[in-house]
Chain A
Amino acid sequence: GENVEQHPSTLSVQEGDSAVIKCTYSDSASNYFPWYKQELGKRPQLIIDIRSNVGEKKDQRIAVTLNKTAKHFSLHITETQPEDSAVYFCAASARGSQGNLIFGKGTKLSVKP
């Protein structure tokens, strides 16, 4: 089945610096790649997503890049702020359905003021 690897598992940055989280996936049929943010004690919520016909997508301080050939996608957060501190999950669609997501193990991002 689909496997999603996510690195690093923890990331600590200084406020204002950039943060990059990387994921790889195994299923070449995957065509939808969302990123979720989970704040402490809360549910995961979508922050940005990308589909396989696009190489890059930006939304203010966050951006996602996709390399389908390498089966690799990344989340970039610029000008990090303390409120960006959370666990971030990448995911890839699996089993032929965009709605059916397999998640990476998560990255705990800490932004130090």
Chain B
Amino acid sequence: EAQVTQNPRYLITVTGKKLTVTCSQNMNHEYMSWYRQDPGLGLRQIYYSMNVEVTDKGDVPEGYKVSRKEKRNFPLILESPSPNQTSLYFCASGNTGELFFGEGSRLTVL
């Protein structure tokens, strides 16, 4: 089954404790991206990747890192999480059209 898989789906953590949200797709998509969704602000792009070893900042990259060492994986790293990073995070992948989203990861930073 074609899918984008994110883990964890839910996480409560504390300020400053490094965490990684994994994202994996099995559709051989070149493009992958991370978005955060906050009430009233829609889907804001954090980072995106056009292909392996090619990543670039989106609109809200501060406090986040990414890597794209393999085509299928695009982890989102929060080196020192802060409460303003409490949000719902979506990973997405695609080629030249439709984006496929993961189920989302709800992160709470206390």
- Of the candidates A101, A104, A106, the one having the most CB atoms from chain B within 10 angstroms of its own CB is A101
Q: Which secondary structure dominates where chain A touches chain B?
A: strand
Do A34 and B102 touch across chains, with their CB atoms under 8 A apart? no
Report the contact-size class of chain B (Cβ under 8 Å from the partner).
20 to 34
Give the number of residues in A that approach B within 8 Å (Cβ atoms).
Answer: 24
Q: How far is the CA of A42 from the CA of B102 in the complex (A)?
A: 9
- Of the candidates A42, A49, A105, the one having the most CB atoms from chain B within 10 angstroms of its own CB is A105
Contact with A along B40-83 (1 / 0, CB 8 A): 11111100101000001001000000000000000000000000
- Knowing A100-B50, A102-B59, A105-B41 touch, does A49 contact B98 (C-beta < 8 A)? yes
Tell me the A39-71 residues at the B interface (CB within 8 Å): 42-46, 49
- Of the candidates B30, B41, B48, the one having the most CB atoms from chain A within 10 angstroms of its own CB is B48
Do A43 and B103 touch across chains, with their CB atoms under 8 A apart? yes
Do B101 and A45 touch across chains, with their CB atoms under 8 A apart? yes
Q: How far is the CA of A98 from the CA of B95 in the complex (A)?
A: 8
Identify the B interface with A (CB < 8 A): 29-31, 33, 35, 40-45, 48, 50, 56, 59, 90, 94-99, 101-104
